[in-house]
Amino acid sequence: MDAPANTFRADLHVHSSCSANPTARAIRFFRSRESFTEPEEVYASARARGMDFVTITDHNTLDGSLAIAHLPGAFLGCELDTWFPEDGCRVHVVALGIDEATFAEALRVKRSVHDLVALLREAGVVHYLAHPLFDMTGGLTADTVERMLLLFNALEGRNGARVVRCNGLLRDIVAGLTPEAIWDMAERQGIEPYGDTPWRKTLTGGSDDHSGLFTAGAYTAAGGDGTPGGFLDAVARGDCEALGEDGDARLLAHSIYTTSFWRLREILRMDSDEPRQKALAWIKQGFGQIGRDVPLLDKAVRGVRGVAPGLYRPQDGRGPAWEELLEREIGALVRAPGGIHSVGSRELDRRIFAVTSTLAADVLNLHLEPLLDPTMRRPGWRLRDSLFAVAMIHFLETGYFIAYGFQTRDRAGQENLRERFLGPGGGGAKIAVLTDATAGSDCSAVAHGFATAAGRPGATLEVLTSSSAPAGAYPGGMHFAASATWPSRLQPGRALVAPPLLDVLDYLYERDFTAIHVESAGGMGLAGLLAAKLLHLPVTGTVHSDVLLAVERLSSGSRVSREAWRYVRWFAGMLDEVFTQTRADARRLVALGVDPRRVHALPAAGGTAEQPAGEAPEVPAAAGGGNGGARAAATPCAWAPDPRVVELIARLERPSPAPGWRHAADLRGAVSRRAGNRRPAAPGGRRRTT
């Protein structure tokens, strides 16, 4: 969305290196500041991205904005920590155009948000509530939100570091306010609304950037007379609009990496006269020449060539291909007239992710197969190198994992708020089914069958697969090229896969699935399980009879047998709901220690009779067999589900806590209903297996 031509623009929420006293516990643990971007660099970035006015809103300090106060179009600002005394909920209030005397008084009274707001009103300071629905303390309730709506007439409607689920919900709530709703809130909370029309809220925009990469990704467009004072007067009148882009997990991850990079430089004292020589010597072994005078992309290329020379073997073109991608996505952008500021935050995110995810997948593929394929013989030292490389790649991906979890941690609470303020409803269920089967060509019929079984026209389903085949989308599904494949010892003739975890996780996040079902205990099953935990989604799964029979065939009491049963117990125990193909299989899982309240035997096809305990079930040919129920290569869809599974995924809900495993046909409700209402399982809410 673009601002009208007769308005001015300013990023009203951005941080600099003066945010040196972090409020986040994790940042305090590493003794880091929240940003390493100098105030002058923030100013230059904002102007380069078309901002007419610039402020810096560092935490509880004016130092950042004072450092640029002499520059054209700059004005003072800060972000103040404060609390609702009613419930201890911590919130952030951004004050704009505040003078130093008022700021000093604000620091004195900020323990109570009521006292702080009263002071700012009396002093005539323009202020707004930052990221209102971002729950910083775990205590955000509907009552707290009502107090926010009564106390503040200006709120941040587009925060560039918060996701659209958070920002969009606030915008929807504000759009639905009426005089009657405000007066009802005032009566419940005992707070007098402020202003003549307190149901009409002003929405501001700001990037909340801490990295220096995404300044002005979100901003405020307002009228005025061309001066900072006139701009702020327009904001105070509500003559403004929140524009730009909402945040996402990639943006947060890249901000984490940027801050970590500068913190590492600080720890190593790389910019001092006496750096830590031993650590620098180790880094130089991998990256060659280092220093601020060496272009970052050159260091990246040297580093990859040093730590992953296998990508540059004559028969392997992945190294040169990655360098071409780096040049196309980042190099050309850096050399463009506007540099990285010539594209928006979302596009910059996409480019960085494309480069990093491709490199991670290539390095994992290079090292995983020698580790996992028993037919490949390599010296012990090479195996150790491969193991270290795989561990290091996953360690370096931690920033992404943290970001995906962080940006979805409030999912359940936000959906509770949506139902409280906007009523029941929302989008339909969107289920991802993950299987190790090879890619199919058309899963639209399976998706249509799911919508029919769910009884909800808006319910959708996608089948996600992974194998050695090239990646690509197909109707009703997506295929991911596996990082590695190797023969299965338990099921000869079948292959196990290591899917590209980061790509799978990103796809599930970006497509905004509401629940996950895994049809494999292999690589894709593990990827789905991890994704569900990180994205705070409900996860169901089928433990197939052929897997259990394969484990039973192992030598009883052997180490391999014990570890295999231990894995089955762990995997099934991590699922919110577990399907088995027979009652005998359900009894096996319960005997292993899986919570019986979450184990559900599928009804036999065409009735309720089942095979006797210990006998293999006769799954109809149309239903497929193990390995996710995959059919032969001629099957249109990679996942050929038993119709019973499709129906039960669509209609199952968490059983009551009454003891004893249940027959799945007796259960009511639906995963799709729960997911469609956007009520995922809260983190840590799953009953633990004993």
**Residue-by-residue DSSP string for 13-61:** SB--TT--S--SHHHHHTT--S----HHHHHHHHHHTT-SEE----BT-
Convert the pLDDT of each residue in 93-109 to its tens digit: 999 999 999 999 999 99
Which of 173-182, 187-196, 321-330, 360-369 is the least confident region?
Answer: 360-369
Q: If you average pLDDT over residues 362-373, what whole number do you get?
A: 79
Choosing among 2.30.29, 3.40.50, 2.60.120, 3.90.920, the CATH entry for 429-676 is 3.40.50
For 115-144, the pLDDT digits (tens) are: 999 999 999 999 999 999 999 888 899 999
Task: Give the residue range(s) of CATH 3.20.20.140 domains in the chain.
Answer: 8-247
- Listed range (75-79, 154-158, 398-402, 440-444) with the worst mean pLDDT: 440-444
The stretch 299-327 carries a mean pLDDT of 87
- 450: pLDDT strictly greater than 70: no
Task: Report pLDDT for 262.
Answer: 81
* pLDDT score recorded for residue 438: 64
- Give percent of the chain with pLDDT exceeding 90: 49
**Average pLDDT taken over every residue of the chain:** 81
Rounded Cα distance between 622 and 620, Å, is 5
Q: How is residue 50 written in tokens? A: 């078309």
For residue 444, is pLDDT > 80?
no
Least confident of 68-82, 398-412, 440-454: 440-454
According to the model, what pLDDT value does residue 607 have? 45
Give residues with Cβ within 8 angstroms of 401, minimum separation 6.
Answer: 505, 534
Domain 8-247 has CATH 3.20.20.140: yes
- pLDDT tens string 217-265: 999 999 999 999 999 999 999 999 999 999 999 999 999 988 888 887 7
User: So what's the pLDDT on residue 21?
Assistant: 76
- pLDDT reported for residue 304: 84
Q: How far is CA 688 from the centre of its chain?
A: 24
> According to CATH, where is 3.40.50 located in the chain?
429-676
Do 10 and 231 touch, CB atoms closer than 8 A?
A: yes
Please report the pLDDT score of residue 655 as a whole number.
31
Average pLDDT over residues 263-289: 59
Here the tokens at position 545 are 């009879």
pLDDT for residue 221: 97
pLDDT at 684: 37
Span 305-334, average pLDDT:
89
Choice between 473 and 205, residue whose per-residue pLDDT is larger: 205
How many other C-beta atoms are found inside a 10 Å radius of the C-beta of residue 663? 14
Helix H or strand E encompassing 120: helix 113-123
- Which residues have CB under 8 Å from 470's CB, separation 6+? 479, 481
pLDDT of residue 459: 73
Q: Which residues contact 96 (CB under 8 A, 6 or more apart)?
A: 12, 55, 57, 75, 76, 77, 125, 126, 127, 128, 232, 235
Average the pLDDT over 654-676 and give the result: 35
Q: pLDDT category, 604, cuts 50, 70, 90?
A: low
Spatial separation of the C-alpha atoms in residues 510 and 370, rounded to whole Å: 32
Pairs from 260-269 (Cβ < 8 Å, separation ≥ 24): 260/399, 262/36, 263/30, 263/32, 263/36, 266/32, 266/36
User: Which is more confident, 330 or 491?
Assistant: 330
- Please state the rounded mean pLDDT for residues 53-76: 97
pLDDT of residue 616: 32
- Inform me whether the pLDDT recorded for 618 exceeds 60: no
Per-residue pLDDT, 424: 78
Cβ neighbours of residue 247 closer than 8 Å, sequence gap 6 or more: 159, 160, 161, 162, 163, 208, 217, 218, 345, 407
The mean per-residue pLDDT over the stretch 507-526 comes to 91
Residues 6+ apart with CB under 8 A from 447: 460, 461, 462, 463, 476
CA angle, 467 as apex, 504 and 400 as ends, to 5°?
A: 20
Residue 139 pLDDT: 82
pLDDT higher than 80, residue 382: no
Lowest mean pLDDT among 49-58, 59-68, 514-523: 514-523
Q: Say yes or no to pLDDT of 662 above 50.
A: no
- How far is 305 from 322, CA to CA, in rounded Å? 11
Whether pLDDT at 200 is above 70: yes
Long-range CB pairs of 421-424, under 8 A, 24+ apart, other chains included: 421/142, 421/145, 421/173, 421/176, 422/172, 422/173, 422/176, 424/677
AA letter at 306: G
Number of neighbours of residue 185 by Cβ within 10 angstroms: 22
Contacts of 177 (CB under 8 A, 6+ apart): 149, 199, 200, 201
Q: Which two tokens stand for residue 652?
A: 């199952």
pLDDT of residue 665: 35
670 has pLDDT over 80:
no
